[in-house]
Amino acid sequence: MRILVVGGGGREHALCWAIAASPLCTKLYCAPGNAGIATVAECIEVPAEDVAGQVALAVNKQIDFVVVGPEVPLAAGLADRLAEAGIRVFGPSAKAAMLESSKGFTKDLCKRHGIPTAAYERFTDADKAAQYIRAKGAPIVVKADGLAAGKGVVVAESVDQAVEAARDMLSGNRFGAAGASVVVEEFLVGEEASFFALCDGEHALPLIGAQDHKRAFDGDKGPNTGGMGAYSPAPVFDLATQQHTMETIIQPTVRAMAAAGTPFRGVLYAGLMITREGPKLFEYNCRFGDPECQVLMMRLKSDLLPALLASAEGGLAHFDLRWSTDTALTVVMAAKGYPDAYKKGSEIRGLEAAAEVEGVQIFHAGTKSDGKRVLANGGRVLSVTAMAPTVEQARERAYRAVDLIDWPDGFCRRDIAWRAVGRTP
Ligand code: AMP
Ligand code: GLY
């Protein structure tokens, strides 16, 4: 099969790495890809968001199967356009991608189907939002309805901060149309986990859980980012919690989407709060998490490609995937300044030595090659990933590799998996 992976981050490097290992794959392209992806796939300079460009590329290269990494092209209808062109695709239609592209859509679906989630209201009027916030009190959470690259959520400690956030979003200044409507919801107390399930429109196949670190600095301090590190398994997300999540959250969602005539095909990524009353959904994404995908691909022992194909074509009902019981852990190395302004173009050295550490795979998140040199080309730049029998060993290996990387312009957190270290599952 001739395969095209859309995207160019650490998630897409991990997907390409897994797909390249499949005996079914005869030729692998990635667009736009990056310097690391170029070692396993032929990279082509088409931006992930360029829907028409990606479709044209798939047609020109006679692609049999397209795997879409990020949410933006999915929300813009890339899967629909590929289907119209007769090309098989992993990833949901634009209508099904609304589970990610509209938080209000998902909240209303949860309410209609009794799926556990935080209590909420939707607003387009700032004064009405303010009234609700004052009535509920703080802490309280304000979310822009649409896609905002992970920046559209304000967990407000005070009523004033929440009112201000809602006004800011609804003014259209900060998020444009994505903020034209907001969700105001109850603050959930618990531990967060990410859980993934492959869906074929009718059936859902559980993958595994992981835990992400969204804040930029150690001790979960600093601004929210796309994710500074992840690990799997996460002790908080045990098998019983997984089964409960499948029954009360994932399966009802898949049934509801099918009944609405917008079946969900692709990977459903549930952002969960594990509360005292059990898991509650705080968001859906319609794609793999980054950097969670990197740890998932490390633990996956089966061939990924047939599973992605079954998601696209149906047939997940009797599918089975095997996972390593080892822990996989990834440390993201980001450009200094990320998630705010940062520089591009500095050289990264020592990657070969780092990749030789036992159990380590280095996924590139934002790099480009310049002859033999590898240059930083994004906010999140590397995802240094390690596997080992225990979380402590995986962490030691990952940081040993990080310390062999010579990149003065970068930084990383030193405490990835702090919740799991020393805790018996
Ligand atoms: P989201 O973009 O929905 O993933 O939210 C970003 C972050 O905000 C999450 O990772 C949580 O840490 C936090 N968050 C979102 N919703 C809630 C909630 N209802 N209660 C507490 N924290 C939340
Ligand atoms: N790791 C968070 C995300 O992919 O949205």
User: Which domain CATH number covers 382?
Assistant: 3.90.600.10
405 is a domain residue: yes
Cα-to-centroid distance, 142 and ligand 1 (Å) = 9
* Each residue's pLDDT tens digit, 59-97: 999 999 999 999 999 999 999 999 999 999 999 999 999
- 86 and 196, same domain (yes or no): no
pLDDT at residue 182 greater than cutoff 60: yes
Overall domain count for the chain? 4
In this structure, is residue 116 part of a structural domain?
no
Ligand 1 site residues, Cβ closer than 6 angstroms: 118, 141, 150, 153, 155, 185-188, 192, 214, 271, 282-283
Residues 263 and 289 grouped into a single domain = yes
Among residues 200, 206, 320, which one has the least CA distance to residue 263? 200
Stretch 353-381: mean pLDDT, rounded? 97
285 inside domain: yes
- Ligand 2, residue 212: give the atom nearest the CA: 1
| Domain presence at residue 186 | no
Given 180, 203, 222, the domain boundary residue is 180
Q: Of all atoms in ligand 1, which is nearest to the CA of residue 283?
A: 3
Q: Is 80's C-beta closer than 6 angstroms to any atom of ligand 2?
A: no
Q: Is residue 223 part of a domain?
A: yes
What integer is the mean pLDDT of 132-142? 92
Ligand 2: centre distance to CA 227 (Å): 6
pLDDT at 424: 58
* 3-class SS letters over 293-322: HHHHHHHECCCHHHHHHHHHHCCCCCCCCC
CATH code of the domain containing 53: 3.40.50.20
By alpha-carbon position, which residue is closest to atom 4 of ligand 2?
289
Q: How far apart are alpha carbons 419 and 415 in whole angstroms?
A: 9
Convert the pLDDT of each residue in 196-224 to its tens digit: 999 999 999 999 999 999 999 999 999 88
Q: What is the pLDDT of residues 289-323, one digit of tens each?
A: 999 999 999 999 999 999 999 999 999 998 999 99
Q: Residues 313-342: what's their mean pLDDT? A: 95
Asked if residue 302 is part of any domain, the answer here is yes
Residue 53: pLDDT band with limits 50, 70, 90: very high
Match 């969900």 to its residue by tokens.
264
What is the domain extent for residue 244?
191-313
Is a pLDDT exceeding 80 seen at residue 173?
no
Mean pLDDT of the chain: 95
pLDDT at residue 247 greater than cutoff 90: yes
How many angstroms is it from 153 CA to the middle of ligand 1? Answer: 7
Please tell me if the CB atom of residue 7 comes closer than 6 angstroms to any atom of ligand 2: no
